[in-house]
């Protein structure tokens, strides 16, 4: 979806601003910082001290990565390997002194050299990936057995309620906290599935399967059930990865 400069900059105080790419504005803050903003997220903040802070706003998508790479200081880049982003300094092929850090939101390129605030190491992320898989497996099993209730007021409030920008309460602030809690409790939140298919849509056949699974209607999905499960798996997995600091 395309946004105008006015939409992107709503509520933001600045000295000057200009469109620099699709849905991307460069603006200057009163404190002198220069900012690259994609949609409603300040993805790069060039501070007066010379440090550069990176933030995907929890959306480690291809677009965010491309935009960061376009505007990062020379020699720096973001690359992706097996669901994980890395911030790197130096050319991929030719620089023997090339260094890289596991990306996480808030990671900062220091004017003194190097980076601070790097993410968890590979092993921890692999563990997280496994937990996502286990949760999604359990979710689909309960769902397809028609054991889950329809989304409603009894759901986790962080999954259920939204602010005026359609952000769930869970997506404001620390996005991962309630989700890790659901993993632990094996709490399969119906609203979480709704949020996932809103952000990462599924086909109409799958929507109909979901309606059947939630007992909204009694028309069985039959041979479409496997397609439905596959699409739900994909959507849920990507939704959760995005909230647990992984590219998706």
- Residues in contact with Zn ion by CB under 5 A are 156, 158-159, 178
Q: How many CB atoms lie within 10 A of CB 167?
A: 15
Q: How far is the CB of 197 from Zn ion (least distance, A)?
A: 16
Q: Which is nearer to Zn ion, 24 or 191 (CB)?
A: 191
Q: How far apart are CA 165 and CA 124, in angstroms?
A: 32
At how many degrees (to 10) do helices 204-213 and 190-199 cross? Answer: 170
Task: Tell me the closest approach of the beta carbon of residue 200 to Zn ion, in angstroms.
Answer: 17
Question: 223: which DSSP letter?
Answer: G
CA angle 217, 222, 223 (to 5 degrees): 140
- Opening angle at CA 109, ends 106 and 110, nearest 5: 120
Residue in 227, 246, 241 with CA at minimum distance from that of residue 133:
241
Q: How far apart are CA 54 and CA 44, in angstroms?
A: 5
How do 115-116 and 108-109 pair as beta strands? antiparallel
92: Cβ–Cβ under 8 A, 6 or more apart, which residues?
A: 77, 79, 98
Cβ closer to Zn ion: 108 or 195?
A: 195
- Select 36 or 136, whichever has its Cβ closest to Zn ion: 136
CB of 177 to Zn ion, least distance (A): 9
Smaller CB separation from Zn ion, 159 or 247: 159
Radius of gyration of the chain (CA): 20
Nearer to Zn ion, 27 or 239 (CB): 239
CB of 154 to Zn ion, least distance (A): 12
Query: Measured from the CB atom, is 39 or 183 closer to Zn ion?
Result: 183
CB of 160 to Zn ion, least distance (A): 8
Q: How far is the CB of 157 from Zn ion (least distance, A)?
A: 7
When CB distances to Zn ion are compared, the closest residue is: 156
């Amino acid at each position: 979806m395309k946004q105008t400069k006015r939409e992107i900059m709503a509520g933001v105080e600045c000295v000057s601003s200009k469109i620099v790419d699709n849905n991307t504005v460069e603006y200057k803050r009163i404190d002198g910082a220069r900012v690259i903003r994609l949609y409603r997220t300040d993805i790069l903040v060039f501070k007066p001290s010379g440090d550069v802070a990176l933030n995907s706003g929890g959306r480690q998508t291809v677009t965010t990565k491309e935009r960061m790479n376009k505007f990062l200081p020379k020699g720096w880049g973001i690359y992706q390997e097996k669901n994980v982003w890395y911030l790197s300094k130096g050319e991929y092929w030719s620089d023997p002194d090339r260094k890289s850090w596991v990306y996480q939101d808030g990671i900062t390129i220091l004017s003194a050299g190097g980076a601070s605030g790097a993410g968890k190491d590979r092993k921890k992320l692999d563990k997280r990936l496994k937990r996502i898989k286990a949760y999604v497996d359990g979710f689909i099993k309960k769902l397809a057995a028609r054991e889950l209730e329809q989304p409603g007021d009894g759901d986790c409030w962080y999954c259920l309620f939204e602010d005026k920008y359609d952000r769930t309460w869970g997506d404001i602030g620390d996005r991962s906290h309630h989700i890790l809690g659901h993993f632990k409790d094996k709490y399969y939140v119906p609203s979480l599935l709704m949020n996932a298919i809103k952000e990462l849509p599924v086909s109409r056949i799958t929507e109909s399967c979901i309606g059947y699974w939630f007992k909204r209607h009694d028309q069985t999905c039959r041979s479409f059930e496997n397609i439905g499960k596959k699409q739900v798996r994909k959507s849920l997995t990507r939704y959760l990865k995005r909230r647990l600091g992984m590219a998706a």
